[in-house]
Chain A
């Protein structure tokens, strides 16, 4: 396949950035959920 390095780089960047963002959001949601539960347990 010609220009294989460009194709691999393009698809890898797409996959890593989108999956990375999704995991980042899931982590953020988990942390916020834990904090909300902590705060409601205090009251």
Chain B
């Protein structure tokens, strides 16, 4: 298992580099433009549903990308629990955020398609209900990540939820097979030939490819945000240069002049102000308690969250 993690880390590093991010952005734009032409102009209207079926070229890819996002959350969470490396936690957090967006899009687009086709915006159908549960699980995951806990503990709890929450993904996918459902069964991934016209299949697969490239771009961008914010938080905990000399409270009002009195943030309205002595350089009087450091880290992360 650990042998598999190293190549994955290399791939992730390449994908989320600045150059990789730029190329993914350009690729996503081009692929989406082609997808728009294919699905709105070239693919014919459905024989039964008419033109409203064109919504499937965004609804189905959004649903597939929601599955992919939460699969990546599962992989990132499992890898974090195995290795305790921060970038796996950042990967899971980034993918969960994007997955929630794609799940919400899936539900909204399905609803817009459902009204002219089924005559209702929403029904408690097994597929719709399990998808709504999936949205709630991962919205809960994002809420858990905002808890003012120590970063390590929060990452562990989130990773456990990321692994356990994944159980819902096969349930959502199989719900149309296991229970009587108004939602149509799979048309592409099914035994035998796909039950869809070839040109419509091409438009659907191209749209899925375009959404996948867009997902990779958003993931790379969100990972960069995570890296930068972690850097800011880490920098906020380092003592300012004048504090390193062991003169507590000497750094521009950042330290505490009296022992045991928590110091005020050094500057910038407390936004990312230094926590003097947090790295052990501010002398005994200015060093805050570990709980204060953790609370501050959570606060900073929430501000930048």
B partners with A: yes
Determine whether the beta carbon of A18 is less than 8 Å from that of B228.
no
Q: In the complex, what residue of chain A is closest to B239 when comparing beta carbons?
A: A43
Contacts of A13 in B (CB 8 A): 105, 108-109, 112
Task: Select from chain B the residue with minimum beta-carbon distance to A33.
Answer: B228
Q: Which residues of B contact A10 (CB under 8 A)?
A: 55, 58-59, 109, 112-113
B153: CB under 8 A from chain A? no
A22 CB, nearest partner CB in chain B, Å: 6
Q: Are A9's CB and B112's CB within 8 A?
A: yes
Interface of B is mostly: helix
CB under 8 Å from chain A, chain B span 109-150: 109, 112-113, 115-116
Q: How far is the CB of A9 from chain B (nearest CB, A)?
A: 6
A-B contact count (CB 8 A): 93
Interface residues on A, range: 20 to 34
Q: How far is the CB of B242 from chain A (nearest CB, A)?
A: 10
Name the segment of B85-93, B230-238, B291-299 touching the other chain: B230-238
B52 touches A29 (CB 8 A): no
- Chain B nearest CB from A17 CB (Å) reads 6
Whether B51 pairs with A7 at a CB distance below 8 angstroms is: yes
In Å, the complex CA distance between A31 and B116 comes to: 43
Q: Which residues of chain A are near B50, meaning CB under 8 Å?
A: 2-3
Residues of A within 8 A of B271 (CB): 35
B101 within 8 A of A: yes
- Asked if A6 contacts B218 (CB within 8 A), the reply is no
Q: List 25 A-B contacts (CB under 8 A).
A: A2-B51, A3-B50, A3-B51, A4-B51, A7-B52, A7-B54, A10-B59, A10-B113, A11-B58, A13-B108, A13-B109, A14-B58, A18-B101, A18-B218, A21-B101, A25-B225, A28-B304, A29-B224, A29-B225, A32-B232, A33-B228, A35-B228, A38-B268, A39-B235, A39-B236
Would you list the 8 A-B pairs with minimal beta carbon distance, nearest first? Answer: A32-B228, A39-B235, A3-B52, A10-B55, A25-B221, A10-B112, A14-B58, A2-B50
B interface residues with partner A (beta carbon < 8 Å): 36, 40, 50-52, 54-55, 58-59, 62, 98, 101, 104-105, 108-109, 112-113, 115-116, 214, 217-218, 221-222, 224-225, 228-229, 231-232, 235-236, 238, 240-241, 267-268, 271-272, 304
